[in-house]
Amino acid sequence: MRDYIHVDDLAAAQILALASLEQGSTTAAYNLGSGRGYSVLEVIKAAEKVTGQKVPYRGGPPRPGDPAVLVASAEKAMAELGWRPRYTELEDIIATAWQWHRRRPRGYSQGIIFSRMSRGR
């Protein structure tokens, strides 16, 4: 079981943490997540539902050393920063990632940022 967080929620927490520092607070570490865990199979099934495509996979034993459950408690970020995840459902997280990918099938390779960098500018 793993806890997944939307990239927009992660960015929002970072902005709130920076604003807190600008207001004079000290640095702090925060755990961020929805507080809900999903199995790999649940992620695969959600991805299939959102995309309408079959996701090929092969089951196997857990990797040595991996914890069986890894779910965040974001209570500190909620209390100190006022942060709350906007995306709490796995299907919503996957749907926005899928929409982004469909608009940019080659990722950022179509964008200005990396094309300029690749030319050394």
In the prediction, which pLDDT does 34 show?
93
What predicted TM-score, i.e. pTM, was given to this entire model?
A: 0.81
Provide CATH code, domain 2-118: 3.90.25.10
- For 25-30, the CB contacts below 8 A with 24+ separation are 25/80, 28/76, 28/80, 30/74, 30/76, 30/77, 30/80, 30/81, 30/83
| Beta bridge partner(s), residue 37 | 3
- Averaged over 90-100, what is the pLDDT? 97
Instruction: With cut-offs at 50, 70 and 90, classify the pLDDT of residue 106.
Output: confident
In the prediction, which pLDDT does 17 show?
97
For 3-44, how does the pLDDT look when each residue is reduced to its tens digit (9 = 90+)? 999 999 999 999 999 999 999 999 999 999 999 999 999 999
In the prediction, which pLDDT does 112 show?
55
